[in-house]
Amino acid sequence: MKRPLPSSRRPFRRVSLPAALLLACLPALGQNFSQPFDKQIQWFAYSGDHAVAGKWGLHFDGGWRQVSHADWNQWLVRPGVNYQWSRRVQLSAAYSYFNTHPAGLAWDEQSVPEHRLQEQILIQTPVRKIALRHRVRVDQRFLGSGFAENSQRTWNLQHRLRYMIRTELPLRKGASERPVVYAGVHNEILFRLGYTGGSNFDQNRLYGGIGARPHKEASIEAGVFHQRFQPMAGGRMENNYVFVLTVSNQLSLSRLLGRE
């Protein structure tokens, strides 16, 4: 009978779950970067969640987005409210306004507006020594038509379902074992609901990035995601890559306003 290999000779037994998740995403990212991309996109965003009183809190995020070599493509603002249902479950509702120039500032039909309502549930589930974050979001999108002289703007209501799974893998820890440098990995898939104009699949976003947390309630993160996108008008599936820079703030509202 063969003796079992000692633990030092069992390489796969020693691979941790965080390392396995990161290794699983790297081949996909490498494969995507070898593809011819349709668009190069940059997102710059701010996100804040601020406790107010009891289980209630306020949310605000906003951003500016640039596509390829256009001077400017889209900006958005999104105020909302959070309710901490339990230690691991948070409910949220928000309103968003988007202003988009599909072909940059030189687009003849000027901007296209969008008003959006969203409801979401955020669930954190620990797996060994890491936390997985599941986000389920439902969007109600009121999409405006482009500008045209002597023509009234029309609106199209569309519904969308989104699911994202994310984890943060500590790379360097500071005091009290708090991660000060981490790798962020997530995947989000989006579906159109009740859409009769084509595919119900909207897009998939596979992301990897590096973040720094100089304070336990603030972080800055830079990363890239591959966007596989099916245009609503139909046609060929797009493969885009998006650079994302995000600043996050979780200070309570009283501390944010300097009242503590």
Strand partners, 208: 185, 224
Domain ranges of the chain: 16-29+82-230
> How does pLDDT run across 90-118, given as a tens digit for each residue?
999 999 999 987 665 455 556 789 999 99
Coil, strand or helix at 146: coil
- Cα separations in angstroms, 216 against 55, 56, 168, 176, 177: 20, 20, 14, 11, 11
pLDDT band with cut points at 50, 70 and 90 for residue 196 = confident
Does the pLDDT of residue 144 top 70, yes or no? yes
> How does pLDDT run across 16-61, given as a tens digit for each residue?
544 444 444 444 444 444 444 578 889 999 999 999 999 999 999 9
Are 139 and 118 in contact by the 8 Å Cβ rule? The answer is yes
- Among 221, 217, 215, 213, CA closest to 186: 221
- Among 98, 94, 120, CA closest to 111: 98
Mean per-residue pLDDT of the chain: 83
> How does pLDDT run across 74-93, given as a tens digit for each residue?
899 999 999 999 999 999 99
Are 187 and 164 in contact by the 8 Å Cβ rule? The answer is yes
The mean per-residue pLDDT over the stretch 185-194 comes to 95
Q: What is the pLDDT of residue 224?
A: 97
Q: What is the pLDDT of residue 178?
A: 76
Does the pLDDT of residue 159 top 50, yes or no? yes
Does the pLDDT of residue 247 top 70, yes or no? yes
Most confident by average pLDDT, 2-11, 104-113, 120-129: 120-129
Stretch among 2-16, 61-75, 101-115, 159-173 having the lowest mean pLDDT: 2-16
- Among 44, 78, 41, CA closest to 247: 44
Q: What is the pLDDT of residue 256?
A: 84
DSSP letter string, 23-85? HHHHHHHHHHHTSPPS-EEEEEEEEEEEEEETTEEEEEEEEEEEETT-S--EEEEEEEEEEE-
